[in-house]
Structure 1
Amino acid sequence: MRHPSDSPRDEPGGRSPSWMPTAATPFGTVRSRGVGLPRGEVRAEPGPLPSGARRVRVVGEDAEVDVVHGTFDGSVPEGYPPLIAAWGVVWTVRAHRNLPAFGVGVGVDRVPSRCEAAPDEGQDLCAVSMDDGMTELTIGGEDDDALWRRAYSGDLFPRRWAREAPVPELGCEDPRLPSSRVLEGARGVRWRLPGLDAGEECVVHAAVAWSTLDPERPSTWFAVDVGTRWLLDELVSPRRDAPGSRR
């Protein structure tokens, strides 16, 4: 695990806006969280999107925050346990004025005492998994390397971020770059985003999945290993008979 613990100032906890979405899971409520997000008028869509997902917009003088959340069709390798459910959230922040750094995250308030939880990172995924011996749940999203590549290519991130810090340093959180971190107690994951200049936007996501536990075949890890563009498309487009490209 790249970052073994969080300092209190990094915790996306009680300061999170009340409009941030949540999902009910076998291990309690998974909450999406935000620290330092711009404030503004909250405008919730009156009904679901064609996919069944929900959208909330926060429109302010400094920025607009667009949050789409809902269930999605996660896929797992053949022979692995089928998913019970998968849920995702995508944040889009569009700056009208220069913005300081901010953070978003997803996690449970605390891991239930009956569960074991641990970081479950690798292959571009920053994730945690927890289980109670019968059910497994994974929370995850892109890790530092995947985030940097998106900034380098200008894929839903400002290219400026990669130009200002062209070589990420292993194990070091550079404030000029987007970064990921496992929350203390492996109860979730958070992402820190550098500030935005006026006119810039960034998009980041998190995914959650749970299934029957099979220690040798972790369905949930594969289910949350999705790209930001793929998940956003799944959440805003009408449902299809089969999931699309994962990345």
Structure 2
Amino acid sequence: MSEKHPTHRTDAPAASGPVRNEIADFVKKVGQLARPNAGEDGRLLFAMDATMSRQPTWDMAVSLQAGMFEAIPKEAALQVQLIYFRGLGECRASKWVRDAGALAKMMSTIACQGGNTQIGKVLGHARDEHGKRRIHAVVYVGDAVEENVDALCAKAGELGLMGLPLFVFQEGRDARVEAAFKEFARLSKGAYARFDSGAPQQLADLLRAVAAYASGGRSQLKLETSPAARGLLTQIEGR
């Protein structure tokens, strides 16, 4: 990909049919992933842009993150790690947690701050953590790319070679951001979807679908009733 320039933030318009189609495409691709081995916890790295423009979406994610855990049955296990960046070079990762309360508590203490994106640090952290113990999926939520896109593509491709898919959720409709995010997803063998911050159910369905599958595959998804989860289950059971 030849894009060299940073992509900037734009306001998100109302949701539309194409957004719903992208979500359907996303869950279809998630259904093609390998599930965790029996007895193995699903592991999901939840990455978010916490720069100033992200405050509304951050607050929304805090309220939605419990759904990631509710998407799996009691006998299953899902570990989630939060990583975020903000301000002047700050990029931090939490410990791995197994319950919604712990994750919500961590997220509620974080205030968004102005600064540029640090997606490269997120991808580097995902690579290092995956090298220690397998991660089944990485979710990234953001609205901009202010780094060298080709360098980020190289890191995304490295994740793909390691078998670590990146699922990128874009807020807004900036075409340059969309092109970059789609390329990150393609190179890592993951998927891309766009959501509207004014329609939180879109993001909720995406997070629940990823969490359900990351925690153990189709048996977990059968417990979900959202359109996103039903679409995913239909795709994988058709194989």
Q: How high is the TM-score relative to the length of structure 2?
A: 0.28
Higher relative contact order (CA 8 A, sep 6+): 2
The answer to which structure has the higher helix fraction is: 2
Per residue, is there more strand in 1 or in 2? Answer: 1
TM-score normalised over the length of structure 1: 0.28
Q: Which has the larger radius of gyration?
A: 1
